[in-house]
């Protein structure tokens, strides 16, 4: 549920980002795609960095196609869908059901692991294939285009911008990638200091 919520909100955020760029007039269609292409490639490269790190420290379960790989690819794949509406709803549901079906199968090859064709011997600590997870991104884009049409919230919320708790939450939201990259090493160190985990497991 946590991953689904995070990925759904990613789709909503892409809608907001696209609407903001169009309203500002700073980006042509070509430049907007270039923006998402660069952003997607940057996050995908961070995913490859995580792959290398986990291959060194936990080679028995290293990350092949984890959440950062998925987000990087999804940002690029989502661009043509940002102009659509109900297509995102239909395609999102379809992709989710295809992914659920693929999870009931196993395959003797691994070159389509990124799509959701799970090989027999897969063992990894983080796995987010395109099917079904990209379907959740598309649902986020669909609901984002309705709930935040033309970069305007279509529903009322109480004014909480001066609340310190929500200011802190907003800060965390704006720096979610950095937090993601550092939270697991911090947790592992804390658990090691508490004697919960044996650091030798990771070597």
Give the pLDDT confidence of 15-71 residue by residue, as tens digits: 998 888 877 766 666 788 898 999 999 999 999 999 998 898 888 889 999 999 999
Q: What's the pLDDT at 27?
A: 61
Q: What's the pLDDT at 142?
A: 97
Range of the domain at 83: 2-156
Tell me: do 46 and 7 sit in the same domain: yes
Tell me: do 119 and 173 sit in the same domain: no
Looking at the 3D structure of the chain, how many domains does it have? Answer: 2
Q: Give the pTM.
A: 0.86
Instruction: Give the residue ranges of the chain where pLDDT is below 70.
Output: 25-29, 196-203
Q: What's the pLDDT at 121?
A: 84
Q: What's the pLDDT at 135?
A: 98
Q: What's the pLDDT at 203?
A: 52
Tell me: do 150 and 169 sit in the same domain: no
Tell me: do 148 and 177 sit in the same domain: no
Tell me: do 178 and 81 sit in the same domain: no
Tell me: do 143 and 173 sit in the same domain: no
Q: Where are the beta strands (DSSP E) in the chain?
A: none
Tell me: do 58 and 102 sit in the same domain: yes
Burial string for 149-183 (b: 16+ CB within 10 Å, else e) reads eeeeeeeeeeeeeeeeeeeeeeeeeeeeeeeeeee
Tell me: do 171 and 148 sit in the same domain: no
- Name, in order, each residue with C-beta under 8 angstroms of 135's C-beta and a sequence gap of 6 or more: 91, 92, 93, 94, 95, 96, 97, 98, 99
CA–chain centroid gap for 78, Å, is: 12
Tell me: do 106 and 177 sit in the same domain: no
Tell me: do 187 and 150 sit in the same domain: no
Tell me: do 151 and 172 sit in the same domain: no
Tell me: do 197 and 134 sit in the same domain: no
């Amino acid at each position: 549920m946590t991953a689904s919520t995070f990925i759904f909100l990613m789709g909503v955020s892409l809608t907001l980002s696209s609407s903001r760029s169009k309203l500002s007039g700073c980006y042509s269609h070509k430049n907007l795609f270039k923006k998402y292409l660069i952003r997607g490639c940057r996050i995908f490269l961070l995913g490859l960095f995580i792959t290398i790190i986990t291959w060194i420290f936990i080679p028995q379960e290293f990350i092949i196609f984890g959440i950062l790989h998925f987000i990087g690819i999804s940002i690029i794949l989502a661009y043509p869908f940002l102009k659509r509406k109900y297509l995102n709803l239909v395609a999102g549901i379809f992709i989710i059901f295809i992914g659920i079906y693929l999870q009931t199968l196993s395959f003797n090859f691994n070159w389509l692991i990124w799509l959701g064709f799970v090989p027999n011997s897969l063992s990894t600590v983080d796995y987010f294939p395109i099917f079904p997870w990209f379907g959740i991104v598309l649902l986020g884009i669909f609901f984002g285009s309705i709930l935040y049409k033309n970069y305007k919230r279509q529903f009322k919320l109480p004014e909480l911008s001066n609340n310190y708790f929500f200011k802190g939450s907003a800060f965390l939201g704006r720096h979610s990638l950095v937090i993601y990259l550092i939270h697991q090493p911090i947790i592992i160190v804390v658990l090691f200091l508490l004697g919960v985990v044996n650091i030798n497991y990771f070597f």
